[in-house]
């Protein structure tokens, strides 16, 4: 008998109906129903039998099935308690999966990686709930948990923001944060027909391969990200005014002007014109002012 894979409309509906499951919009529930896309994600994530994989939001277990078949071990973190009995059923034939009923933003990923993978870098794979894409990605990076790569389905325009550089309207704090920690690469665009129910936005799978060494060195990473946030909070303002108006940045205007002048791009430059290296330089200027 062939296996009961969930990644098609018929089998997904059969499970949904069997459990009278009701999709929760508030949890960003759009389940994949296209086998080709599920296979592509797992392949692009480079999952092998050596790997421990963290899946965020397994839903009814569609991608989890394939992850279990390709990885050494999988932990699947799902917030919706109504999905837990369904997952226990759909994944019952796999002995290498742990289902965790929790909010991923509350999970100690460091501890999970230590417990399950001897603190070696883990692979994160997910069709993310779009309402918390950025907090999840930032948590994975900022927690400094050992992560090798993050291969995730996100809203198409969020993928574009992660990949783009200075001068583009999509360039912002997310682009800089992602590129500081990882090399982003869109691997496939996915139309709404591949999901149940269909989202009203386009989607892309993006792979974020974590850098071994960050591409810029900066004295105070936290300060650099405060500066980046302040620069993009008021996009249409000049960098000087953005930094001066921000409650996160407590430097006198005169120091801010000197720092911006040092960039050699004029005092009316906007944050969106600065590269990651320039933000690091700006941050180091403020760090050295503090230590005077
Ligand atoms: N992986 C499944 C698939 O591709 O068919 C489902 C993907 S669906 C876009 C997102 C999943 O994330 C849902 O199952 C949802 O309940 C779950 N989810 C939403 N917020 C979450 C959170 N904070 N922590 C863990 N899971 C969450």
At 178-221, the pLDDT tens digits run 999 999 999 999 999 999 999 999 999 999 999 999 999 999 99
Range of the domain at 259: 221-290
Same domain, 25 and 103: yes
How far apart, in whole angstroms, are the C-alpha atoms of residue 184 and residue 204?
Answer: 12
Which residues of the chain, if any, have pLDDT below 70? 1-2
CB 227 within 8 A of CB 283: yes
Evaluated on CA atoms 166, 170, 176, 181, the torsion sign reads: negative
Select from 8, 27, 32 the residue to mutate for testing ligand 1; criterion: most ligand atoms less than 8 Å from CB. Answer: 27
Residues 94 and 174 in one domain: yes
| Type and span of the H or E element at 98 | strand 97-101
**pLDDT, tens digit (0-9, with 9 covering 90-100), for 225-255:** 999 999 998 878 899 999 999 998 889 999 9
* 67 CB within 6 A, ligand 1: no
CA of 229 to the centre of ligand 1 (A): 28
Q: How many domains does the chain have?
A: 2
161 C-alpha to ligand 1 centroid (Å): 22
| Residue bearing the CA closest to ligand 1, atom 14 | 59
Residue 76 lies in a domain: yes
**Domain edge (last residue) among 180, 210, 240:** 210
Q: Tell me: do 193 and 233 sit in the same domain.
A: no
Q: Is any ligand 1 atom within 6 A of the Cβ of residue 61?
A: no
Whichever domain contains 84, its CATH number is: 3.40.50.150
CATH number at residue 259: 1.10.8.100
Chain mean pLDDT for the chain: 95
Which tokens go with 25? Answer: 């919009």
- Token pair, residue 205, equals 């799978």
State which of 5, 40, 55, 59 you would mutate to test the pocket of ligand 1, scoring each by most atoms of that ligand within 8 A of its C-beta: 59
Examine the domain organization and report whether 174 and 63 are in the same domain: yes
């Amino acid at each position: 008998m062939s296996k009961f894979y969930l990644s098609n409309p018929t089998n997904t509906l059969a499970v949904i109906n069997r459990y009278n499951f009701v999709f929760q919009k508030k949890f960003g529930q759009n389940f994949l129903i296209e086998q080709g896309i599920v296979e592509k994600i797992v392949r692009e994530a480079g999952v092998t039998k050596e790997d421990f994989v963290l899946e965020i939001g397994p839903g009814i277990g569609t991608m989890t099935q394939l992850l279990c078949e390709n990885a050494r071990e999988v932990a699947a973190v799902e917030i919706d308690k109504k999905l837990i009995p369904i997952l226990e059923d759909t994944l019952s034939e796999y002995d290498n999966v742990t289902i965790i009923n929790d909010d991923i933003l509350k999970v100690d990923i460091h501890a999970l990686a230590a417990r399950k993978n001897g603190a070696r870098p883990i692979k994160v794979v997910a069709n993310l709930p779009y309402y918390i894409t950025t907090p999840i990605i930032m948590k994975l990076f900022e927690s400094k948990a050992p992560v090798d790569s993050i291969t995730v389905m996100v809203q198409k325009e969020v993928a574009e923001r992660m990949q783009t550089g200075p001068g583009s309207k999509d360039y912002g704090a997310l682009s800089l944060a992602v590129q500081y920690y990882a090399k982003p690469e869109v691997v496939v665009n996915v139309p709404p027909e591949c999901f149940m129910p269909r989202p009203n936005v386009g989607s892309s799978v993006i792979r974020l391969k974590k850098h071994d060494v960050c591409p810029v060195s900066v004295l105070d990473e936290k300060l650099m990200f405060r500066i980046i946030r302040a620069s993009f909070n008021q996009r249409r303002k000049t960098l000087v005014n953005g930094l001066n108006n921000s409650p996160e940045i407590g430097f006198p205007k005169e120091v801010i002007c000197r720092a911006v002048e040092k960039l050699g791009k004029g005092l009316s430059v906007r944050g969106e014109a600065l590269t990651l290296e320039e933000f690091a330089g700006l941050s180091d200027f403020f760090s050295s002012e503090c230590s005077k």
